Structure 1
């Protein structure tokens, strides 16, 4: 039992070039393709499978499947024989239903002394799956067309938009109520009054500076301090005009003017650091209570506003987070604009709310500072992070890097399948959660999950290898996937035995890999 090295990981992609199956580029995205239709294997212990072709492992059983739905199984135990040929396989164990983070499984690769057919409790067929593109982060066509019309943010000659900068603004002050995490959301003690002054004002945007931050700024001369805040204001107004006003709003929509002041507001406050968990600072925040018409202070401000942390000096990151937070603001506004009662409030589920914000930020900026580390956290341990989480805070997963990486990866993959107008259709769907995804893609979640997990196999760095006679036990999150490379040598036939100890809803996908001898030759350089 062992984990894949980077070299063996690279062989998975290489294997998909052989035996009539290849990876090709289609509109900038990797795609599965094959030269002929694979056979339906009604006898998996007899028929061979095509290298690189993903197969659904479909099992019939004498066990009842209470609560199961098409696309996954909740059998407590299943087993199947591999075809009797020298071959390596990638087995993907997808957990679609069960405990959010703790589902117990064990997998044993048994040596077979003969070719007796497998028992009826685990009779399995291998069903060839359709071709899917891999994940991609390229801008969609409609977003790219809009972005290309705009000058580069790094171009010093580009217009930043006209705005007024105020060195002091004693007459223009505003108090925002801000959640700082000192109690439950429903407790007044969990909120602070954040007194601000107007820092700058443009055609579409007002920047408000927390008085507390202005008073506690590092010791600088008045000129240095003025230049520091002016540079920050210039950057934010420029980004807002180019990315939000000129690009995002025509594509996805504009936030309503909730407070009637005619402009969107950004509050610069380091109080966001009080909400940080771990070592990573909180760069930005959009508070859903601000977009609720029925909430009194201090629970919301009834204002179109987001909050940014002025202690963050990474302009590329701040740019991405500005777009990210505006997407949240638009989502809250769209879902709550007709709601006058908390009883009828319809929020988008957290995993989609965050995933869409990350997807749009990368689409419009062309950079991935805000998501890259989170994506790598997910790819390093994909079985540990649930994809579908309706409420991150209640689940104890708020700002979980791996969960963010999972939803970004999934939505990027969905976009690669549908491409045109996937993001606007999902964003403006009349449904939320999984139904919204199904409406936007025209496909069921189990089908989407299976295709996505096959694509993740090409990117993850955690694949467990098993040979006949070995076994492995693990725990896995719901709506996550675990990957195994199982090996069968010449003259052997192996039986795969999976115990689903939690009786969770699972789906199995099998992908035959390249000839082991060819891999050995590749490793040795021959």
Structure 2
């Protein structure tokens, strides 16, 4: 399915242009004929050709929409005086398994001064409020008699929970609808509180659990998670009417999909449905947790995330009872997104956001079923929806987005459109623009460095906004990108002084393509970050066990490099496997150690003055054995943090592909910078 929507502004402009054109040509006739009827007045019938005006003037200080009539528009851009642009390309198609390719070409005869097959217009700004047309007059979950109440209303249950319970668990890599793919787990009650009952898989003993784990689970749920989520989203439905939320601790979560997948916890929506037969439902308000968990912030974030899933399922099943009709389960992308924004910390999302920013065009936002789309636990997709719903939440000045979200009976794109009151294509465009601004304020700050303040730290990771693809129109006359459905690509259009004219760009795109231009600020300081693999240096035979990377950072003299970050990347690489490392430049040596050390090393080789500022060079050394262990990763992301005179921090990033496999060597000195560097910045 493709979307070819125009915004309200575009429609209004088109109608106005037609009306004006009709008035202008009112007196002109392209063809006419006179018909006389006996006894009646002579009537002249005149046919007029409609006139549609060209592109109206636009404000290039604001984002400019390229409204296309078809998938092959052409549009002129002024490249005089070193003008540069950011082109945002959105794929509005909704099939998560399908990607599209766009090809951009610089036309040889750039004589056209007006767009063809499209027109320019400024998009209307989004209102800072949400539509609450489907806001409920009260919380139906509160009105239902089978709910877990707030702590202030709770009384100790007179009845203890059952000492033993059986649960069905999906553990294979087979069909979810096949009963044979489920195993029966017997849980033994090991601890309980007024609102929580914890069961342990009988194949384990309590002595195998981390010290203080069950105490911490009960403390976090009773003192924080249950009450906070009840207030922000709604309370849990007591499906089995035992007065408690059930937790099952099991080692099975460390070996799901036939041993291929390990997860920390999950909620199954079908468990909250009484009309679903076993083993597809346990008919219980419950949460599954990995018995290998430990107390700490990660546990707090995990419980907040998973109990949000339980609340969503509770409210939807309660609405089924009160409305008398079946509601579809929340689509996966929305279910995960709302759970992420309810997390108090970043341990469950920092690496996912970092992965999405690395390659935003590869990760679809809209995925109704992650498992069937083969995107289950894809970290880039999860990072995308975390950022999107958090942005939607920011549109609501009352910060009640979570409550209206969980109580809205629809799901998918319809739900988001109804909640925001904005058609999804325009909402997606505006979100993409907000993402682009995060990158621009780091990589293209104005000379006075008056960019908006941004926190570059997200948990253990440094953020620089979505990566940009650079297309130098002087060096290359075409550019090609593959973009996943409901994903965005960001292309930096630049040229050197030899192209001091108007450029004509031809796009060969696809149905559902959406284009937006942002003109970059001029008279900005020169910032550039390059990296390339090279053979290890040193005089010992051990150097063949290491590889090195040369970093070259160009920056203004008054904006020094403060920190270097290193991170392994990949769509399915875990948080721990990414091994994010940060090196303060003030404490770096001038040379790498000799003999080499068995871990990552970095040295600052020097700061050199050039006509347009300073250049700081670094040398990074990595053990080949470590790279081989990280072979599941796609690339190595390098980040440089610079501090301005106004104490703001800017982040530049550069990605290098990992090519190390058993029996292979990394690219050496014979590889040119153009071959070894990615075009991302």
* Shorter-chain TM-score above 0.5: yes
Determine if contact 2:265/2:288 at 8 Å carries over to the other structure.
yes
| Match of residue 210, structure 1, among 185, 201, 205 | 201
Determine if contact 2:435/2:466 at 8 Å carries over to the other structure.
no
Output one character per residue of 1:114-139: Cα deviation in whole Å (capped at 9) or x when no partner: 5433464x242132442789xxxxxx
Q: Which residue of 2 aligns with 1:360?
A: 342
1:81 positional shift: 0.4
Q: Which residue of 1 aligns with 2:101?
A: 105
Mean CA deviation greater in 440-449 or 401-410: 440-449
CA 1:170–1:422 in 2, change beyond 3 Å: closer, same or farther?
closer
Question: Per chain length, whose mean CA-contact separation is higher, i.e. which structure has more relative contact order (CA < 8 Å, sep 6+)?
Answer: 1
| Match of residue 313, structure 2, among 328, 332, 337 | 332
Which structure 2 segments of 5+ residues have no match? Answer: 1-52, 129-153, 440-464, 528-553, 557-611, 615-681
Output one character per residue of 1:434-477: Cα deviation in whole Å (capped at 9) or x when no partner: 12112222222112111111122224342111122431222211
Mean CA deviation greater in 96-105 or 451-460: 96-105
1:314 positional shift: 5.5
Mean CA deviation greater in 490-499 or 199-208: 490-499
Output one character per residue of 1:35-88: Cα deviation in whole Å (capped at 9) or x when no partner: xxxxxx9558xx68534x2121123x4xxxxxxxxxxxxx23111001353311
Cα distance in 2, alignment partners of residues 278 and 80 from structure 1: 53
Report whether the alignment pairs 1:117 with 2:113.
yes
| Match of residue 255, structure 1, among 236, 241, 253 | 236
Q: Which residue of 2 aligns with 1:56?
A: 65
The structure carrying a bigger helix percent of its residues is: 1
Map of 1:226-245 to 2, 5 A cutoff?
A: 231-245=212-226
Which structure 1 segments of 5+ residues have no match? Answer: 1-40, 62-74, 134-160, 218-224
Cα distance in 2, alignment partners of residues 395 and 239 from structure 1: 34
| Match of residue 296, structure 2, among 315, 329, 343 | 315
Pairs aligned (count): 421
Cα distance in 1, alignment partners of residues 420 and 254 from structure 2: 38
Equivalent position SS for 2:301: helix
Q: Which residue of 2 aligns with 1:137?
A: none
CA 1:399–1:182 in 2, change beyond 3 Å: closer, same or farther?
closer
Report whether the alignment pairs 1:462 with 2:447.
no
| Match of residue 514, structure 1, among 518, 521, 529 | 521
Equivalent position SS for 2:92: strand
Cα distance in 1, alignment partners of residues 259 and 282 from structure 2: 28
Report whether the alignment pairs 1:448 with 2:427.
yes
Cα distance in 1, alignment partners of residues 156 and 256 from structure 2: 31
Determine if contact 1:266/1:307 at 8 Å carries over to the other structure.
yes
Determine if contact 1:289/1:299 at 8 Å carries over to the other structure.
yes
Larger radius of gyration: 2
Determine if contact 1:103/1:476 at 8 Å carries over to the other structure.
yes
Q: Which residue of 2 aligns with 1:271?
A: 252
Cα distance in 2, alignment partners of residues 332 and 246 from structure 1: 17
1:425 positional shift: 0.9
Cα distance in 1, alignment partners of residues 414 and 58 from structure 2: 37
1:522 positional shift: 6.0
Equivalent position SS for 1:239: helix
Equivalent position SS for 2:479: strand
Output one character per residue of 1:246-302: Cα deviation in whole Å (capped at 9) or x when no partner: 311122111111111111111111111232699873000111221111122222110
Output one character per residue of 1:152-208: Cα deviation in whole Å (capped at 9) or x when no partner: xxxxxxxxx9999xxxx9981111121212532222211111111111111111111
CA 1:275–1:263 in 2, change beyond 3 Å: closer, same or farther?
same
Cα distance in 2, alignment partners of residues 495 and 333 from structure 1: 55
Q: Which residue of 1 aligns with 2:326?
A: 344
Q: Which residue of 1 aligns with 2:91?
A: 95
Aligned-pair Cα RMSD in Å: 3.2
Q: Which residue of 2 aligns with 1:72?
A: none
| Match of residue 370, structure 2, among 389, 392, 402 | 392
Determine if contact 2:255/2:261 at 8 Å carries over to the other structure.
no
Output one character per residue of 1:405-460: Cα deviation in whole Å (capped at 9) or x when no partner: 11001001111122421111111112211121122222221121111111222243
